[in-house]
């Protein structure tokens, strides 16, 4: 899951960017050009998106982390 390189490594990120870093940028940022668009992501509750998406499928992605606490 963690694909970006630690600085102890080469100092350059791996080819495949990590999804979480990518979602920070493409979901919450990028220029918003409203107009006759089918759906502005700004109108969608991002918290809802990330939570629902995470809760439904992230356990499979992250693996067998014990649910402590």
Cα separation values, 65 from 15, 25, 68, Å: 26, 26, 9
CA distance to 11, 48, 58, per residue, from 16 (Å): 15, 26, 18
- The site map against another protein for 32-61 (x = CB under 8 A) is xxxxxxxxxxx-x---xxx-xxx-xxxx-x
Min. distance of Cβ 22 from another protein in angstroms? 5
Site residue total, another protein (CB under 8 A): 50
30 binds another protein per the rule CB under 8 A:
yes
In which residue are the tokens 């350059």 written?
A: 12
Q: Which residues bind another protein (CB under 8 A)?
A: 1-2, 4-8, 11, 13, 17-42, 44, 48-50, 52-54, 56-59, 61-63, 65
């Amino acid at each position: 899951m963690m694909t970006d390189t630690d600085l102890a490594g080469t100092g350059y990120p791996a080819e495949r960017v990590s999804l979480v870093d990518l979602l920070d940028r493409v979901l919450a940022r990028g220029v918003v050009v409203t107009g006759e668009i089918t759906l502005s992501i700004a109108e969608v509750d991002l918290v809802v998106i990330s939570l629902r998406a995470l809760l439904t499928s992230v356990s499979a992605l992250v693996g067998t982390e014990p649910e402590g606490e």
